[in-house]
Structure 1
Amino acid sequence: MIEVAGDSSRDGDWALVRLRVEGDRILEADADGLGARLGGLSLLEAAAVPGEPLAVDALANALGPIFRARRDSGRVAVAMSGGVDSAVALLRSGPKAIGVTLRLWLDPSGPSAERACCSPEAVLAARRTCHSLGLPHVTLDLRESFRRAVVEPFVRGYGRGETPNPCMRCNGSFRFGQLLDFARRAGADRLATGHYARIVERHGRLLLARAADAGKDQSYMLARLDPRRLRQIEFPLGDQSKERTRAEARAAGLEAAGRADSQEACFLAGDDLRAFLVRRGLAGESGAVVDDEGRELGRHDGFWQFTPGQRRGLGVATGTPLYALRTEPRANRVVVGPREALARRRVRASGRLFAPVERAEVKLRYRSPAVPARVEPASRGFVLHLDQPAYGVAAGQAAVLYEDDAVVGAGIISSSSAT
């Protein structure tokens, strides 16, 4: 038997829940403001109990660290963000679904970010969706582990002169690991999410693939997800459009039908990148803006504010357009030049090939078009020989390889060159 407690506060009000638990069942509870007595309920049943929002939040904080449920082959754990996509994924997952929301780190000194998928407001919205359908919802407080695993490497990457993509690290090595671990604790065989992506069988194995709705496709952001995990994962929205998803939510009367899409980098939602990085310790130290021959053309107040291909904010007035070509952190310099100097045909990335391919279509940024390339396996990654030059290739971004619609490789760009 263990004793656990959870509390919650908002606008000067406070709620506390105390539980005595043995196995997966609550023996005794000290809790006010809930819509049912907790004593005798399983943890799964308790996670579906409604009530006053503050009391329910306190209960959720008590349940999260200890939650477990007996295995049920029909149960699906559904990752909930509070938005319409995860709400419809929940709806599709049947009467035994259980919602789970990760509460992730937000900068306490930053602006409030109600649209962030990890904010307290998003947690409450996800819980309301689950409870409106009579389904359980669990919150996992992962703020500190997320800060260490995702936020701190993101800041360090900028300090090294890279342009890191935090979503790639989060999805590839943090978020899905935590969610699948929860699914096991919850007695669920499967994990469903509201991402727009598909799973296909190619080369005798399961691979991630592009969504049917090209405008909402999230396969790039999910590309570092280990294919071995795909047997446990479902993307129920991968074959439909966003418009159909919203229509489905409206037809079901879900509150989330009108909720705006969450931001991509959740911990930056509503924040200014430069201000965030300064608060996290990157200094605005003045340095030179130079051309490729080292002639000083202007000054900057922090090399980490620039990424290859950037044109705005260079602080240089010339008769011809100039672009940031690269940064030199040790010299605290930003090197600029004409657009043609950005051209790259060879890109090295650290990562994995998920299938034996000699050629692929390669995306080097989330919004960039795919470029055909020859693929050369290398130690701890691969080298890409592009059929046509790519511009604005940045270390720290992801190189994602596609064969038709399937993701056949992914890695983080470490270097690039013109030849």
Structure 2
Amino acid sequence: MVFSKKIKRALISFVALISLVSCSTAFSLPVSADAANSYQADQVNLAVKSAIAIDSDSGQILYAKNADKTLPIASMTKLATVYLTLNAIKNKKISWNQKVKPTAPIVKVANNAEYSNVPLKMGHSYTIKQLYQATLIESANGAAILLGQTIAGSQKAFINQMRAQVKKWGIEDAKIYTACGLPNGNLGKDAYPGINKNAENTMSAKDMAIVGQNLIKDFPEVLDTTKLAHLDFKDQGKTTKMANFNWMLKGLSQYDQAYPVDGLKTGTTDAAGACFIGTIKHSGARLITVVMGARHQDGTDPSRFIQTKKLMNYIFTQYRPVTMNAGSQLNGAKSIKVTDGDNAATNLGLKNKTTIWDPADGKTLVASLNKKAVEAPIAKNQVIGDYQLKSGNEKIVSITNPNGMNVPAKALGANGKVNIFVRIWRWIFGGR
């Protein structure tokens, strides 16, 4: 009689458990926004208003100073214009060899000697490739505006596309008024309607890093152009010698073989100061850095590049990029409990090939999983959850999650679900 009562109580408990499984509740830890805003900010003294350094692939934050502060971005804007250009080519809305003619307002901007420019002429035709190259290398404002005009039909329509694109990337605090980065009023009749003439495009250093990250991820071929120090722009027999404003490229004044950057874009206005988003390959990983609001005394001031080198030097001396293949197991989270599985646990490994910049602190990287157990059945290679990593007590954080970088974990083998009779037996008598 006692045995039958035990079975009855076990069955009631089992039914209750089945009901609860379908009503699982998820929760998340509070995110510390300050971690992304000032990560290791006291470790290197940069003479800039804001800065950030991230791994291009994972978004791991390696350094941040006022990284969430929105500031004028000037011609760094052109990276968003270039992204939409490459996207339009990919979707066959425009083509590299397509020829277009500038409007009178665009010609006026393109021939203003106060701006960084390649002169465009009324009635002349230019290929999309020419305009793209001029935008990236000479930071030509007229060329960038004409790209936007061609893609969207009007400056206002293109700006709206730019705004929509950055929102897709999770950037909510951007203010965008021009395709080139000049103050709104400098575009004359092409100024964004209803907006003050002094309004400038603004983003944070973190936002700009996200723009650069997505550009390189979706269109890595952009680096084939951003790495060019010089290129000729030919227009009906006249040649304009273009020189890249990224002076850290080989052949230019701030080149240093210790920092062989291959992109991306500078930006300068009175309000922005000197800005630069750079990228470089290092030990098999790609780094993106952003410095904003560096000193800009005149057109010969190299301050933004000096600060970028200082930031890169800090990263190279304080971190070691470690690349792990898909399936690699991480200390601290090599397996997970499996409820009602054929086996009590399932081995876990990285879902994808992953690079982690390991702090040079002599401490071992340790992982934890964002869940304690999963329900059977489990298929091989099924994504189980996310790893979060620490080096000693120091959290590894990312641009999308300042509370801890999420790295997907997968099951390294299948784990079937036992039948109901085995489950009942386990409930009554224990066991896995």
More helix by share: 2
Greater radius of gyration (CA) = 2
Tell me: higher relative CO, structure 1 or 2? Use CA pairs within 8 A at least 6 residues apart: 2
